[in-house]
Amino acid sequence: MIAPLALMIAGLILAGVGAQWFAWRAGIPAIVLLSIVGLLLGPGIDLIDPVNDFGTLLQPLVAVAVAVILFEGGLALDFRELTHSVSGVIRLTTIAPLVAWLLGAAAAHYLADLSWPVAALFGGIMIVTGPTVIAPLLRHARLSKRPATLLKWEGIVNDPIGALFAVLAYEVIAASQHGNGFGAAVGHLAVNILLAVLIGLAFGLGTVQIFKRGWIPEFLKAPLVLGVLLTCFAGANEIQEESGLLAVTVLGLTIGNAHLLAIDEIRRFKETLTVILVSSVFIILTATLEWSMIAELTWGHGLFVLAMLFVVRPVSVIGSLAFSRVSWKERFLVGWIAPRGIVAVAVSGLFGTELVELGYADGALLIPLAFAMVFSTVVLHGFSIRPMARQLDLAVKGPPGVLIVGAHRWTIDFAKRLVELDIPVVLADSRWHSMRLAREAGLPTYYGEVLSEVFEHHLDTSSLGTLIATTDNDAYNTLVCTDFAPEFGRRAVFQTGMHGSPEDPKRHSQTLGGLPLFSEPMTTDDIREDFRHGAEIRQTRLTDEFGWDDFIDVQGCEPPVIALVRGAQLHMGPDMPKAKPRDILLYLGRNAQNSQKPDENPKATSLAPEAQSK
């Protein structure tokens, strides 16, 4: 029995990661593919039956996975992000959930024909917006800062709130069967919520002190946090069922805002764990569906989904943000985007079973209704967020830009070339003189240290997708690329001077730094020396009559090509594709005696300006 179960778990992880990869390549919401895989493996070909395969372990496994997901979400929340959004976030996590709960319960009763107790419970669950779905959508849509912050915070904070609303409804239902009143249930839940918050704070502050006092080695920090997380979750759940979700969210907020030195490593560990858990658990939950459950859905249930999309969500959000600094465009966008995810399905599954045991037969409808909401919101919101944000002028326009660290004469010239091609650029340097030259050239600049926390919160990097480190210090370039690689991607961070064999004692580890910017070993000093001898940054558009080979012939040898622009896409480094007609080459043009400028060849379409006086 153990061997088949182990094989199934391995297969689930592999299928989940495979679906995530395919979704990334295709540019579609991953949860859609995960749902399809779950339906195929479960009710489709009946390969897995989670209820029978996992037995009594299914519910605690799903609960632990949800706890890790919410903790990782809390860990990602930084109070400094709220500089311009604090009022909106407070409204979206206090007023909006209450309005959405009341309206959602009414819609569930009158349209989905659920009994009032079940409708009240399901209305509470439906206020959640999944952080596992919101985060990929925000990356895909490239929203401006405030609406992105509002959606991110709401998606994480409202998850435990929705679960607790459902707990309150369940407590009232259970209390009514034992002759207790509504007030007693509310008072009991309020006390337990306070205890859950205190438990999360206590575990969080204790963990922070252990880290700050150096009582634990580096290699045990991530495992310790995982152990603390599970203990906090289980302990809070012993006091009040589902209050563990609130406790672990508070735990994540506490640790995440303590600014620990090891916080980046902890975040990456939890992000990796979350990807595996989300992928596997969502397939498992989808596989629990049966065709008979899906067949029970009626037109009334479809009207309920439409009401949640087009009435409940917009009214609750736009109403709660009334008389705030949030613009009408931002209210409309936030009022439309509310994808549900794994938390909604997991909590629905838990309480659906409990309600059926209490004698409410319509509790069995919670799981298929939750999946209907997940499918509808993920598909509609996933494919509409980017076009709607563009229409409302709330999305970053144009291709992803370039962050250039190190302002020199050649990087300033290169940045000007990119701007001429409508590619956003930011030049960053901590030297005032270098920044002055960049400002005089009319380029966007950042004066300061890019590795500081101030940089993270004063420069919106949502419009940037590539980093180039070009300072005189190769070790510093390596540090910058290593720091930004998780955000930009390993294949999108580049540096000068990155060459040498792995055995070279002067070369840093291959696991550090970025990709080499040039195909030949070139440092910033080398390029500066070339500029002293008349070199310049040039650009040439290849044509059908003037191709790559003609370009090389004109140059006399292959010049150092910095970038290739194809359409709106910028390609750099080792991944640069082979040049073809209509591509634009940005390269270092040297004034060698056997070299000829492209504009001296009538077949080339040269975009190079006249040589500057040196």
List average pLDDT for each run of 10 residues in the chain, which is 614 residues long: 71 87 78 84 83 80 83 77 77 90 93 90 86 74 82 82 78 68 69 85 92 85 88 85 80 85 74 81 82 80 93 93 87 90 81 82 87 87 86 80 88 89 88 82 85 69 83 86 83 76 56 79 80 85 87 81 85 86 86 46 46 35
Tokens of 216: 């634990």
Nearest alpha carbon to residue 93 among 303, 328, 279, 253: 253
Instruction: Specify if 614 maps to a domain.
Output: no
CATH number at residue 157: 1.20.1530.20
Instruction: Tell me: do 440 and 380 sit in the same domain.
Output: no
The number of folded domains in the chain is: 2
Distance CA 414, CA 93 (A): 45
Residue at a domain's end among 391, 411, 427: 391
Instruction: Specify if 349 maps to a domain.
Output: yes
Asked if 418 and 581 touch (Cβ cutoff 8 Å), the reply is no
Instruction: Tell me: do 482 and 407 sit in the same domain.
Output: yes
Tokens of 74: 């809390």
Instruction: Tell me: do 441 and 387 sit in the same domain.
Output: no
Beta bridge partners of 538: 587
| β-bridge pairing 536-541 and 425-429 | unpaired
Instruction: Tell me: do 29 and 83 sit in the same domain.
Output: yes
Q: Could you tell me the pTM of the whole model?
A: 0.73
Contacts 24+ apart (CB under 8 A), 474-478: 474/498, 474/508, 474/523, 475/508, 477/405, 477/406, 477/513, 477/514, 478/508, 478/512, 478/513, 478/514
Instruction: Tell me: do 335 and 423 sit in the same domain.
Output: no
Residues 6+ apart with CB under 8 A from 127: 96, 97, 100, 101, 104, 158, 161, 162, 165
Distance CA 236, CA 519 (A): 56
Q: What is the pLDDT of residue 503?
A: 53
Instruction: Tell me: do 121 and 173 sit in the same domain.
Output: yes
Q: What is the pLDDT of residue 599?
A: 46
DSSP 508: P
Asked if 173 and 355 touch (Cβ cutoff 8 Å), the reply is yes
Nearest alpha carbon to residue 172 among 105, 97, 104: 105
Domain that holds residue 415: 401-606
Distance CA 303, CA 298 (A): 9
Angle between helices 366-391 and 342-357 (to 10 degrees): 160
3-state secondary structure of 401: strand
Instruction: Tell me: do 387 and 406 sit in the same domain.
Output: no
Instruction: Tell me: do 190 and 84 sit in the same domain.
Output: yes
Q: What is the pLDDT of residue 194?
A: 85
Distance CA 122, CA 104 (A): 8
Residue at a domain's end among 369, 391, 413: 391
Instruction: Tell me: do 367 and 470 sit in the same domain.
Output: no
Nearest alpha carbon to residue 161 among 347, 424, 328: 347
Summarised one tens digit per residue, pLDDT across range 232-290 is 998 888 877 667 888 888 898 898 888 777 777 777 777 788 788 888 888 888 888 77
Distance CA 545, CA 151 (A): 51
CATH number at residue 428: 3.40.50.720
Cα–Cα separations (whole angstroms), residue 116 to 122, 177, 349, 354, 469: 10, 15, 18, 16, 61
Summarised one tens digit per residue, pLDDT across range 363-382 is 888 888 988 898 888 888 88
Instruction: Tell me: do 386 and 289 sit in the same domain.
Output: yes
Contacts 24+ apart (CB under 8 A), 35-39: 35/282, 35/286, 35/371, 35/374, 35/375, 35/378, 37/283, 37/286, 38/282, 38/283, 38/284, 38/285, 38/286, 38/287, 38/289, 39/286, 39/287, 39/289
Instruction: Specify if 611 maps to a domain.
Output: no
CA dihedral 10, 13, 17, 18 (to 10 degrees): 50
Angle between helices 131-141 and 58-76 (to 10 degrees): 40
Instruction: Tell me: do 452 and 370 sit in the same domain.
Output: no
Q: What is the pLDDT of residue 610?
A: 36
Tokens of 429: 């340097």
Residue type for position 568: A
CA 328 to chain centre: 25
Instruction: Tell me: do 50 and 118 sit in the same domain.
Output: yes
Asked if 12 and 5 touch (Cβ cutoff 8 Å), the reply is no
Distance CA 583, CA 459 (A): 31
Residue at a domain's end among 342, 365, 391: 391
Instruction: Specify if 217 maps to a domain.
Output: yes
Asked if 573 and 466 touch (Cβ cutoff 8 Å), the reply is no
Distance CA 109, CA 117 (A): 9
Q: What is the pLDDT of residue 150?
A: 87
Asked if 207 and 225 touch (Cβ cutoff 8 Å), the reply is yes
Summarised one tens digit per residue, pLDDT across range 113-163 is 899 889 988 998 898 887 777 877 777 777 877 888 888 888 888 877 787
Angle between helices 95-110 and 313-320 (to 10 degrees): 160
DSSP 592: -
3-state secondary structure of 608: coil
Distance CA 312, CA 304 (A): 10
Instruction: Specify if 612 maps to a domain.
Output: no
3-state secondary structure of 538: strand
Cα–Cα separations (whole angstroms), residue 288 to 40, 59, 593: 11, 12, 74
Distance CA 283, CA 288 (A): 9
Nearest alpha carbon to residue 145 among 385, 392, 446, 462: 462
Distance CA 515, CA 469 (A): 10
Instruction: Specify if 396 maps to a domain.
Output: no
Q: What is the pLDDT of residue 78?
A: 73
